[in-house]
């Protein structure tokens, strides 16, 4: 098979668990990246299509006997090199610097201080974007959060190198020999917690290595399709769709990768969906050419929710039921596919924020973990970020309104009712929420807001409707903008808009006497109420 020759960043793997992410991040910025073992022959690295080389992290100590070493000829190729963590230590070790065991292991978030002067960039922030393009930190701020994970540390930097960035515990958090285009970072730019990690890798690939951006969404798709085929073979796959972006993109990938008879798509209605949601989702999926079985399990979910007020209990009940019903559909040797994304698999990021260590994500329920052990779970999106999944969705022909659908939590309206869930409360919340979203759409604001929803406060307030006093529920409206979901701002609607929504809800929804708009930021507030 002839392969197109892309400009490529070659990643030498020294055994880090996250090496794959380096390639993903670079490809996300449309540059082809390939991972090879650290002992790959030098001829391969000398290939003219290889525009730059990255040394990955790894668990070893560079001075330990038997630790993976790099062929020193790599430094004579004249190609740009970036060493990450162990990779940085390797290049320091090889080029005449010194690496030692640190006084203590540095693990977790650190604040990085970029040394502008050393890097030849003006210290004045307003001049930064025009900084030198050979700077690894081009287009990133002087202070930024990075993720560290190392025991050893560079104690002396090799000749010709300058310090490019420091952190409290790493005086050599980044070093650079710009003349030879050799760069090193002690932190991990490839992991989620490093704020500007993707930008740093992009700077290396595009500006420093001058690799052309030839890796497009089309290539993402064909790669994912091949992965699915290789993993699934002739087995059957059960895929549960929610109608959200991730599971829909995955359904389209499965459709492309496998014969129809090998895939069973199911949509589980848990009874806490929004107004007409089940119907709309089914119609949308059909339009995309997907055959989906509608499993109406609403009664099975609502019964055990009766009288339950505590949010985590609600989540557990819904999560359990979901898994129970899903597993009832996965037979004998079937595989299960999940639209798990990279942020979903990072343990320290719980859906409820860092303070809460209980991860309620059903993608990692015990039954699923068991299947993962048996190699029966297909998760081709698990190294992708949401924006990358959207790009794939677009390539697969998903319409914008599906690609830009607001997130909706699995436990749905159950966690939007701030008390126990009843049929009447569900009706009220559904109607109010639908009015809010309809007005947001009519005002052309849907894509300006990241997530918008109504919640129902079960304490009641007095109102006057006609001549009668009514004792009704309060509806809380929340609309936020965010990119990372860890911080969020409330959306500044015009007062007229809010007035119109409030009027419609109080007048059209029986049982509501008050409408409140929430102007709490996250933090300290969360996006959802419970």
- The window from 197-205, 265-273, 392-400, 404-412 that contacts ligand XMP (CB under 6 A) reads 404-412
528 binds ligand XMP (CB under 6 A): yes
Identify which of residues 42 and 486 has a Cβ nearer to ligand XMP in the complex: 486
Whether residue 85 lies in the annotated active site = yes
Rounded to a whole number of angstroms, the minimum distance from the CB of residue 490 to ligand XMP is 12
Is position 416 an interface residue for ligand XMP (rule: CB under 6 A)? Answer: no
- Kindly state the smallest distance separating residue 518's Cβ from ligand XMP, in Å: 12
Contact flag: residue 93 with ligand XMP (CB under 6 A): no
Determine which one of 190, 202, 379, 439 is catalytic.
190
Q: Which of 93, 150, 188, 239 is catalytic?
A: 188
Whose Cβ is closer to ligand XMP: residue 131's or residue 411's? 411
Residue placing its CB nearer to ligand XMP in the complex, 175 or 527: 527
Q: Which stretch binds ligand XMP (CB under 6 A): 94-102, 106-114, 254-262, 521-529?
A: 521-529
Based on the residue annotation, tell me whether 431 is a catalytic residue of this protein: no
What part of residues 449-478 is at the interface with ligand XMP (CB under 6 A)?
Answer: 451
Closer of 24 and 314 to ligand XMP (Cβ) = 314
| Residue 520 is a binding residue for ligand XMP (CB under 6 A) | no
- The torsion angles phi and psi of 194, rounded to 5 degrees, stand at -80, 110
**407: contact with ligand XMP by CB under 6 A:** yes
Give the sheet arrangement for strand 237-241, strand by strand. 292-296, 263-269, 237-241, 335-337, 377-378
Instruction: Report, in Å, the least distance between residue 112 CB and ligand XMP.
Output: 26
Name the pairing type of β-strands 50-55 and 263-269: unpaired
526 scored as a contact of ligand XMP (CB under 6 A): yes
* Catalytic-role residue among 85, 93, 106, 209: 85
Pick 448 or 510: Cβ nearer ligand XMP: 448
Contact 378, 231 (CB under 8 A): yes
C-alpha distances out from residue 222 to 257, 337, 339, 384, 391, Å: 9, 18, 17, 15, 13
How far apart are CB 274 and ligand XMP at their closest, in Å? 13
Q: How far is the CB of 441 from ligand XMP (least distance, A)?
A: 19
Per DSSP, the three-state class of 512 is strand
What is the contact mask toward ligand XMP in residues 347 to 386, using x (rule: CB under 6 A)? ----xxx------x--------------------------
CB of 521 to ligand XMP, least distance (A): 11
* 522 in contact with ligand XMP (CB under 6 A): yes
Q: How many Å apart are CA 301 and CA 271, to the nearest integer?
A: 7
Which residues ranging from 280 to 319 are in contact with ligand XMP (CB under 6 A)?
Answer: 315
C-alpha span between 441 and 172 (Å, rounded): 50
Cα separation, 210 vs 7, in Å, equals 9
* Contacting residue, 263, 292, 440, 527, with ligand XMP by CB under 6 A: 527
**Preceding amide of 523 cis, omega within 30:** yes
Q: Using alpha carbons, select from 147, 150, 137, 141 the residue that is nearest to residue 193.
A: 147
At a CB cut-off of 8 Å and minimum separation 6, what does 10 contact? 33, 34, 36, 40, 44, 45, 50, 52, 53, 54
Shortest distance, position 56 Cβ to ligand XMP, whole Å: 31
Torsion angles phi and psi, residue 472, rounded to 5: -130, 180
Burial of 15 per CB tally in 10 Å (0-12, 13-18, 19+)? middle
Q: How far is the CB of 346 from ligand XMP (least distance, A)?
A: 13
In the complex, minimum distance from the CB of residue 270 to ligand XMP, in angstroms, rounded to a whole number: 12
User: Which residues inside 26-55 make contact with ligand XMP, applying CB under 6 A?
Assistant: none
Q: Which of 243, 411, 416, 472 binds ligand XMP (CB under 6 A)?
A: 411
Measured CA to CA, the distance from residue 418 to residue 526 in angstroms comes to: 14
Question: Between residues 83 and 410, which has the closer beta carbon with respect to ligand XMP?
Answer: 410
* C-alpha span between 169 and 503 (Å, rounded): 57
Q: How far is CA 473 from the centre of its chain?
A: 36
Contacts for 252 with CB less than 8 Å, ≥ 6 apart:
288, 290, 393, 396, 397, 398
When the beta carbons of 125 and 353 are compared against ligand XMP, the nearer one is 353
In the complex, minimum distance from the CB of residue 360 to ligand XMP, in angstroms, rounded to a whole number: 5
Burial class (CB in 10 A: 0-12, 13-18, 19+), 237: buried
Region at 98 (left for phi over 0; alpha for psi -120 to 50; beta for the rest): beta
CB 87 within 8 A of CB 55: yes
What residues from 484 to 513 belong to the interface with ligand XMP (CB under 6 A)?
485
| 188 noted as active-site residue | yes
Angle 122-124-130 from CA coordinates, rounded to 5°: 60
Residues 6+ apart with CB under 8 A from 138: 131, 132, 199, 203, 207
Nearer to ligand XMP, 197 or 411 (CB): 411
Of the candidate spans 44-52, 282-290, 301-309, 409-417, the one that interacts with ligand XMP by CB under 6 A turns out to be: 409-417
Which CB, 355 or 459, lies closer to ligand XMP? Answer: 355
Using CB atoms within 10 Å of the CB of residue 392, give its burial: 0 to 12 exposed, 13 to 18 middle, 19+ buried.
buried
Whether the CB-CB separation of 17 and 49 falls below 8 Å is answered with no
Task: Enumerate the active-site residues.
Answer: 85, 188, 190
Residue numbers of the site for ligand XMP (CB under 6 A)? 315, 351-353, 360, 407, 409-411, 451, 485, 522, 526-528
């Amino acid at each position: 098979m002839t392969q197109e020759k892309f400009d490529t960043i070659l990643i030498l793997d020294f055994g880090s668990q996250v090496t794959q992410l380096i390639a993903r991040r670079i490809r996300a910025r449309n540059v082809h990246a390939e991972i090879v073992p650290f002992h790959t022959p030098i001829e391969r690295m000398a290939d003219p299509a290889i525009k730059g080389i990255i040394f990955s992290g790894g668990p070893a100590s560079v001075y330990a006997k038997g630790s993976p070493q790099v062929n020193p000829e790599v430094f004579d190729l004249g190609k740009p090199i970036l060493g990450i963590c162990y990779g940085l230590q390797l290049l320091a070790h090889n080029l005449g610097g010194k690496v030692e065991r640190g006084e203590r292991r540095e693990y977790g978030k650190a604040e990085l201080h970029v040394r502008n002067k050393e890097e030849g960039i003006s210290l004045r922030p307003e001049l930064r974007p025009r900084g030198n393009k050979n700077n690894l930190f081009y287009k990133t701020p002087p202070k930024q959060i990075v993720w560290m994970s190392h025991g050893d540390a560079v104690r002396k930097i090799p000749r010709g190198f300058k310090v490019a960035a420091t952190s409290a515990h790493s005086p050599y958090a980044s070093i650079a020999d710009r003349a030879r285009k050799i760069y090193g970072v002690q932190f991990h730019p490839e992991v989620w917690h490093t704020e500007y990690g993707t930008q740093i890798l992009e700077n290396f690939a595009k500006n420093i290595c001058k690799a052309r951006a030839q890796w497009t969404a089309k290539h993402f798709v064909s790669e994912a399709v091949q992965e699915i085929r290789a993993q699934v073979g002739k087995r059957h796959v059960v895929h549960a769709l929610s109608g959200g972006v991730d599971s829909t993109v995955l359904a389209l990938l499965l459709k492309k990768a496998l014969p129809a008879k090998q895939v069973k798509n199911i949509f589980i209605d848990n009874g806490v969906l929004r107004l007409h949601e089940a119907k709309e989702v089914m119609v949308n999926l059909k339009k995309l050419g997907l055959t989906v079985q509608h499993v109406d399990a609403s009664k099975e979910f609502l019964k055990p929710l009766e009288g339950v007020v505590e949010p985590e209990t609600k989540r557990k009940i819904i999560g359990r039921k979901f898994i129970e019903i899903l597993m009832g559909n996965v037979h004998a040797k079937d595989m299960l596919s999940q639209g798990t994304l990279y942020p979903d698999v990072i343990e320290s990021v719980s859906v409820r924020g860092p303070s809460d260590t209980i991860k309620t994500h059903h993608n990692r329920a015990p039954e699923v973990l068991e299947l993962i052990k048996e190699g029966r779970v297909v998760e081709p999106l698990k190294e992708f970020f949401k924006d990358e999944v959207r790009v794939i969705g677009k390539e697969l022909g998903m319409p914008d309104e599906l690609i830009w659908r607001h997130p909706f939590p699995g436990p749905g309206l159950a966690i939007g009712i701030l008390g126990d869930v009843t049929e009447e409360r569900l009706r009220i919340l559904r109607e109010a929420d639908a009015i809010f979203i309809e007005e947001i759409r009519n005002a052309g604001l849907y894509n300006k807001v990241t997530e918008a929803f109504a919640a129902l406060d079960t304490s009641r307030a007095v109102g006057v409707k006609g001549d009668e006093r009514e004792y009704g529920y309060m509806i809380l409206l929340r609309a936020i903008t965010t990119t990372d979901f860890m911080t969020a701002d409330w959306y500044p609607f015009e007062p007229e808009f809010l007035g119109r929504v409030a009027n419609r809800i109080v007048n059209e929804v029986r049982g509501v006497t008050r409408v409140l708009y929430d102007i709490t930021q996250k933090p300290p507030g969360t996006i959802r109420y419970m």
